[in-house]
Amino acid sequence: MSTPDAPRRIRVTSPRTSAARRSSSHTGTREIDEQTRVGEVYMHSLIQSQLRLALAVILGAAVMLGGLPLLFWLVPATRRFSVVGLPLPWLLLGVVVYPVVYVAARVYTRKAERIEAEFTEFVGRK
């Protein structure tokens, strides 16, 4: 029992008690920052994913754009065909090339951003 003359107990707390506490477990970003073996594996997987994407986009664009001269060589009638007074080879190589390159760039950018977002989410969870 407490006596009426005894001092009251006062609870002293930090003003930052509601602040988020840092996790003591190793996170993926910490592994990467400390250049551990696990961090190297994470970075290697990211680089491999980006390389695979770049090669796929380059290969797709090269097949589409490089296939046009092959088409003109294998099918001679396409060399003499005209659309709105313009020869088909000029139209395809001078006009169609730009939208193909633009679409390839957009596809690459969107997928690269998705790969990086998934990597960031994965590494942040670990």
Residue 27 · residue 122 · CB < 8 Å: no
**Is 50 domain-assigned?**
yes
**Is 94 domain-assigned?**
yes
**What's this model's pTM, rounded to 2 decimal places?**
0.64
Strand ranges, E, within the chain: 82-83, 86-87
**Is 74 domain-assigned?**
yes
- Which residues, given as ranges, of the chain have pLDDT below 70? 1-4, 17-26, 33, 125-126
Q: What is the pLDDT of residue 113?
A: 95
**Is 7 domain-assigned?**
no
Q: What is the pLDDT of residue 121?
A: 86
Q: What is the pLDDT of residue 1?
A: 56
Number of domains in the chain: 1
37-74 helix and 97-125 helix, angle to the nearest 10 degrees: 160
**Is 11 domain-assigned?**
no
**Is 34 domain-assigned?**
yes
Domain that holds residue 45: 28-125
**Is 116 domain-assigned?**
yes
